[in-house]
Amino acid sequence: MMTKKSAMSISDTNSKSGIPSWTTHAGCLGKIGFVLAFFIDFYRHFCKALESLPYEYESSRKFLGLPLLAINLGFDNPHGKMRHARGVIAIGNQATGVLAFGIFIARGVFTVALLAIGFVSISVASVAVCSVSVFGLGLVSVSVLAIGYLAVGILAIGYKCVGITSIGQNVVGIVAIGQRVRAVFSP
């Protein structure tokens, strides 16, 4: 008969050494797999919720052939393509407009989404003239990874850069590589 030594069950420990299984390679992969399965399941439920609650609205007033307000949320079917909102103010899974607010993708002048392309963008990943994001490419980029003429970020690459690690012509940073450098550490 086995006795329980602690709050851990026998399946949580390696039988030979008594080391918790999550510290071994196979146990760690099991935990990572569990987390990955959780996020995949969350994504499926999120998509199913958007699919089961489709919503579409276009204002009757138009400007240059586009509705002033366009809202289009949801998916066409479980494995179908995302709905696309097109208008002066667009809100949807994909949004295209002057003001575009997308859940996944936005294109326009002022954009907010996970992936944004526009003049001024706020996103996780963006390509814009002025970009505020995690991964940003633009003339002016304020990002964790910033690439642009004027780049500000943890890793800043461009002509004028400010960051922890900066690479460019005129740079300021803790670690900086460039022609005009102000840095704590410089090669």
Does position 175 have pLDDT exceeding 50, yes or no? yes
pTM above the 0.85 mark? no
| Both tokens assigned to 4 | 């329980």
Does position 4 have pLDDT exceeding 50, yes or no? no
Does position 6 have pLDDT exceeding 50, yes or no? no
Q: What is the mean pLDDT of residues 90-117?
A: 92
Tens digit of each residue's pLDDT (9 = 90 or more) over 8-64: 444 444 455 555 544 444 455 566 677 777 777 777 776 666 566 676 777 788 888
Beta strand pairing call for 55-58 and 62-63: unpaired
pLDDT for 182: 83
Beta bridge partners of 156: 146, 166
**Res. 153 pLDDT band, cuts 50 70 90:** very high
pLDDT for 167: 92
Beta strand pairing call for 84-86 and 89-185: parallel
Q: Domain limits of the chain?
A: 22-52, 54-185
